[in-house]
């Protein structure tokens, strides 16, 4: 893959090259009856300070697997990952690095916070491997809680005594305590009500600016992706199908999958909705037996014989736009004819603008 854009070399936080995460599946009774399954493959991108990469796509597309691999919770199988100029994964091996530099915030605080620990102990937990003095641990915990708006009255409470929004703020404080440079956010607001979602999103944006943080933000919500992201990566079947500036990707999508994903997302005006015509045809591909060539070809309206046999490279097609489609330029210019009937409709720039006009 050609190198993806970032701000400047001086403020580069993360560089990922050809990252792959696979698992071995037993396919029979014999010892040798095994098959390697790719959950994420060929992922490459770069991320700078104060930059947010939004990751969108259907459930099961590999978004959370990507975050877990970058956090080295479930390390990659191959590829190369550099953090702040230092290699932390290469040649199939995790290199020594300070784990606190990368922190992950999970979707459900109820399952990610230990119900038997008080707030102050939860926030202090990631500081244990750093072997800091008691005074510094106390200062870091107090500072992290102050940054997320958790007052002194809550530090002695247990997670079960907190509201959903307070729990997620504690999760954010725990992630901030080791002074990370990269936060991996796995749908951090999906379990919250709308009013609290907006508060947490604004808090994250303020913290990013204040602490010079880089974010990778996984979400199913296109509005949230647009509001939070500088760039968006569209995931499908464990691969990036499109990558570029958030507004351009959402308003002028280049990959057929991005177009259908946007068209299927509901818009604020009920009179303009056309759900039945916006359905993405077919089913998501099997990770055990993925399609040959382009993994989206069984569902694509523009499929040609080339798509069945040749894997499209994520390539730069001008400026800061990247897409993995053999016919992206022809589709964008309107010179590519539909080759398969189906209920999917193309998205227009007007419809896209209507869709993202309801941002929080």
Q: Given pLDDT bands bounded at 50, 70 and 90, which one contains residue 340? A: confident
At 143 the pLDDT is 97
Is 338 or 358 the better-scoring residue by pLDDT?
Answer: 338
Q: Given pLDDT bands bounded at 50, 70 and 90, which one contains residue 5? A: very low
H or E segment and range at residue 13: strand 12-26
Q: For residues 77 and 156, is the Cβ–Cβ distance under 8 A?
A: no
Residue 303 gets the label, from left (phi > 0), alpha (psi -120 to 50) or beta, of: beta
The residues that bridge with 239 in the sheet, in sequence order, are 236
The answer to which of 186-195, 211-220, 272-281 has the lowest mean pLDDT is 272-281
Round to whole Å and give the CA distance between 211 and 166. 21
Any idea of the CA torsion for 131, 134, 135, 141, to the nearest 10 degrees? 80
Round to whole Å and give the CA distance between 185 and 105. 5
Residue 50 gets the label, from left (phi > 0), alpha (psi -120 to 50) or beta, of: left
- Give me the DSSP letters along 50-100: T-EEEEE--TTSSHHHHHHHHTTSS--SEEEEEETTEEEEETTEEPP--GG
pLDDT tens-digit series, residues 197-242 = 999 999 999 999 999 999 999 998 888 999 999 999 999 999 999 9
Q: Given pLDDT bands bounded at 50, 70 and 90, which one contains residue 6? A: very low
Share of the chain above pLDDT 70, in %: 88
CATH number of 9-98+178-358: 3.40.50.300
Farthest CA pair distance, the chain: 67
On the question of pLDDT at 275 being above 70, the answer is: no
What is the rounded end-to-end Cα distance, in angstroms, of the chain?
34
On the question of pLDDT at 17 being above 70, the answer is: yes
Cβ neighbours of residue 222 closer than 8 Å, sequence gap 6 or more:
56, 250, 262, 265, 355, 356
Share of the chain above pLDDT 90, in %: 68
pLDDT tens-digit series, residues 42-76 = 999 999 999 999 999 988 899 999 999 999 999 99
pLDDT tens-digit series, residues 147-185 = 999 999 999 999 999 999 999 999 999 999 999 999 999
Cα-to-chain-centroid distance, residue 188 = 11
Highest mean pLDDT among 27-31, 340-344, 356-360: 27-31
């Amino acid at each position: 893959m050609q190198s993806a854009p970032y701000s400047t070399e001086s403020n580069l936080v993360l560089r990922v090259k050809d990252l792959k995460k696979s698992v071995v599946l037993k396919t029979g009774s014999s010892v040798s009856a095994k098959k390697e399954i790719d959950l994420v493959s060929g992922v490459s991108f770069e991320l700078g300070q104060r930059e947010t990469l939004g990751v969108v796509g259907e459930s099961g597309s590999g978004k959370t697997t990507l975050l877990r691999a970058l956090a080295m919770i479930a390390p990659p199988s191959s590829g190369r990952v550099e953090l702040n100029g230092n290699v932390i994964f290469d040649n199939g091996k995790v290199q020594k690095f300070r784990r606190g530099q990368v922190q992950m915030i999970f979707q459900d605080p109820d399952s990610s916070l230990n119900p038997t620990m008080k707030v102050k102990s939860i926030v202090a937990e990631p500081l244990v491997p750093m072997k800091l003095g008691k005074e510094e641990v106390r200062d870091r915990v107090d500072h992290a809680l102050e940054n997320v708006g958790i007052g002194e009255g809550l530090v002695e409470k247990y997670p079960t005594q907190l509201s959903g929004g307070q729990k997620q703020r504690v999760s954010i404080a725990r992630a901030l305590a080791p002074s990370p440079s990269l936060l991996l956010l796995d749908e951090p607001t999906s379990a919250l009500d709308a009013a609290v979602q907006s508060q947490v999103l604004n808090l994250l944006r303020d913290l990013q600016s204040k602490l010079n943080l880089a974010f990778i933000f996984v979400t199913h919500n296109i509005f949230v992706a647009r509001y939070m992201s500088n760039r968006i990566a569209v995931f499908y079947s464990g691969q990036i199908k499109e990558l570029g500036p958030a507004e351009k990707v959402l308003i002028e999508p280049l990959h057929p999958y991005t177009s259908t994903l946007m068209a299927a997302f509901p818009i604020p005006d009920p009179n303009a909705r056309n759900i039945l015509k916006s359905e993405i045809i077919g089913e998501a591909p099997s990770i055990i037996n993925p399609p040959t060539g382009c993994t989206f070809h069984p569902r694509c309206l523009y499929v040609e014989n080339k798509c069945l046999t040749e894997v499209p490279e994520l390539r730069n097609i001008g400026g800061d736009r990247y897409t993995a489609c053999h016919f992206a330029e022809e589709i964008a210019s309107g010179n590519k004819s539909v080759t398969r009937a189906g209920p999917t409709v193309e998205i227009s720039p007007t419809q896209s603008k209507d869709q993202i006009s309801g941002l929080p």
